[in-house]
Each structure stands twice: as structure tokens, then as C-alpha cells.
A and B are shown apart, each in its own frame.
Chain A
Amino acid sequence: MAKNSESYILDMSANRKAISEHAQKSWIFDTSAFISLESINILEQVLKLFSITTTDSVIKELGDFAKHDDKYGKIAKDVLKLKNRFTIESCEIKESIKYIEATDNELYNLALKKRLALITDETKLVHHARNKIEVYFTAMFLVMLTETGHFIKKEALAKLEELRDIRNWRNNLIYLITKSELERF
């Protein structure tokens, strides 16, 4: 077989593997994940690339935020406009984590049931769930979209600053670690 044909077939095979892995890629979002990503205007881009599952309780929480005329209220209203693009499910709580609320326990059970990673910016939830399920902060999408070329370094750093303000992160570990990574681009 000619060298070119061989590498073409190898490329195609790698591509097919990547496509099939990506086609299965879904995430579970909590309220904080929706608020964070919409606050820096990247929720729609994330929705174009992945499928997102959440719970009725999260939609209710967003609805409660949306009743207020502050910045979170406006962000929540914008998230809810995209509601028909999320998969919304209820999940029975079969296993509870003692230190977290019922809404978070439902998300935890959904992550266990569907074997999906949970995206959240709630540090308490991350702390108590990280050894039981796969869990990531929303900063993951910022790094991902910078790597794919959706943003240049300067834009990504500006979005991180916006996220830091909206979440009141100041100099916390999520901000410092993400900033240090984005500065390497």
C-alpha cells in the first residue's frame, strides 16, 4: 500500500474514533454552571458542541433567579431562553451526600445513573462529590474553547476576569490555576 493511502486510512480511522467519542459527549449542569457560562456568553457555543442534561430543580432555581431584576436575574432569563436545547430529567435520590442540598443530591444521583461528569462552580459540592463522580469547574470550557481557537488568549483572559467578578472569586484557586494555564497560550 502506498505510504499516502496508508496514512490517509490511519487518519480516517483516528477521525472516526474521535467522532464516535465526541458524539457520546454529554455533561450534567447545575445552576452555577449555567449562570457562569452564560455570564461570559459561551453557553451557546458549548451547546453547539455538546449535549447538556440537567434537572427540573435546576430549571426551577433558574426560574427563581429570573424573578429578580439584578445581574443574576438577567443571566438566568437568558439561560432559560435556551431551555429547549437541554435535556431535562428528574432523578430519584438513591444515595445521598450528607453535606449537600437536595437539589445537588439529585444532580449527584443523575451523574451516577448516567455515568456523566457534573459541571459546577459550587466549591462545596465539588469538595464532597469529587471522589464519587467525575466533576469539573466551568473554567474547563474556557480553556477548551481557547485551545480550539474560538478565542484568542486576550479574549479568554478577559472572559476569565468577567467570570471572576460575577462569581466573586477574587484570587481564588480556580481563577489562579485557570489564569496560569491561559497565559501559556
Chain B
Amino acid sequence: METEQFNIRMPKDLVQDLDIISKLLKVNKSEWVKTKLAEEVHEEKNKLLMELSNLYANGMINKEKIEKLVGKEVADEMESIKVVAQKSVKHGLRYGKKLRKLHS
């Protein structure tokens, strides 16, 4: 996996606590921090994107605004999901009507 250097300064107490965890769990300190950070980042990112999706679904924010906030890639994917979800629902309704007619 491609990596990038990211430096942070941490309070001494926190580093000491990390030492304790590392010794007790017999794990590498940096690896443990990386795993925990990845879990937290993933969770928070998903939560925030869901909130953004909610605003987008309700027409309270448009694609351009999403693009400004989180970039083109996320905005494009969100648009795709919205368009295909609406299309799926419409197609389901249309086909359901057709089937009902067929069986009546």
C-alpha cells in the first residue's frame, strides 16, 4: 500500500499511555495507532458522507456544493447513486404495474 509521511505532536501523557497499551498487548505502538486511526477515520468519513447524502436526497444541497466540499470524485459518485436509485424505483413501479396488469 502506498504511504505518506504524516507527523503529529502528541501530549506526553498520551504517549505514555500508548506505551502501556503497546507493552500489555505486545503490539507495535505505531501499528496500533494506525489501526485505531483508520477505524475512526473510516467511521467518521462514512457518517459525514451519509449526512451529506441526506441533504442531497432532500434537495437541500446541490452537486456543485458537494464538489466544493469533498471533491469531484465523491460528488460524481453521489450523483450516480442518486440517479440510479431514482431510476430503480421508477422502473420497479413501472414493471410492477405491467405485472399486475398481466396477472389480472
Contacts of A126 in B (CB 8 A): 80-81, 84
B46 to chain A: closest residue by CB: A170
Let me know if B102 and A22 touch, CB within 8 A. yes
Contacts of B95 in A (CB 8 A): 140, 144, 147
Question: Would A144 and B76 be within 8 Å (CB), given that A177-B86, A177-B89 are in contact?
Answer: no
Is B93 located at the chain interface by the 8 A CB criterion?
A: yes
Q: Select which of B76, B85, B91 is within 8 A of A177 by beta carbon.
A: B85
B58 to chain A: closest residue by CB: A176
Is A142 located at the chain interface by the 8 A CB criterion?
A: yes
Mask for B52-94, Cβ within 8 A of A = 1, else 0? 0110111000000000000000001110111111111101110
Let me know if A136 and B88 touch, CB within 8 A. yes
Mask for B38-61, Cβ within 8 A of A = 1, else 0? 000000001000110110111000
Is B101 located at the chain interface by the 8 A CB criterion?
A: yes
Sorting the interface of chain A by its residue count into under 10, 10 to 19, 20 to 34 or 35 or more gives 35 or more
Mask for B4-45, Cβ within 8 A of A = 1, else 0? 000000000000000000000000000000000000000000
CA distance A143 to B98 in the complex (A): 13
CA distance A58 to B40 in the complex (A): 32
Sorting the interface of chain B by its residue count into under 10, 10 to 19, 20 to 34 or 35 or more gives 20 to 34
Question: Would A147 and B96 be within 8 Å (CB), given that A18-B102, A170-B50, A171-B50 are in contact?
Answer: yes
CA distance A22 to B99 in the complex (A): 8
Q: Select which of A14, A148, A180 is within 8 A of B96 by beta carbon.
A: A148
Let me know if A139 and B98 touch, CB within 8 A. no
Let me know if B84 and A135 touch, CB within 8 A. yes
A180 to chain B: closest residue by CB: B57
Q: Select which of A14, A21, A147, A176 is within 8 A of B100 by beta carbon.
A: A147
Question: Would A139 and B78 be within 8 Å (CB), given that A18-B101, A49-B99, A144-B99 are in contact?
Answer: no
The 5 A-B residue pairs with the shortest CB-CB distance in the complex, in nearest-first order: A147-B96, A143-B92, A140-B88, A140-B92, A127-B80
Q: With contacts A22-B99, A145-B96 known, what are 15 further pairs, Cβ within 8 A?
A: A18-B102, A127-B76, A127-B81, A139-B85, A140-B88, A141-B92, A143-B89, A144-B99, A148-B99, A172-B53, A173-B56, A173-B57, A176-B58, A177-B57, A177-B86
Sample (12) of A-B pairs whose CB atoms are under 8 Å apart? A15-B101, A124-B77, A127-B77, A136-B88, A137-B85, A139-B88, A142-B92, A143-B92, A144-B93, A171-B50, A174-B88, A176-B57
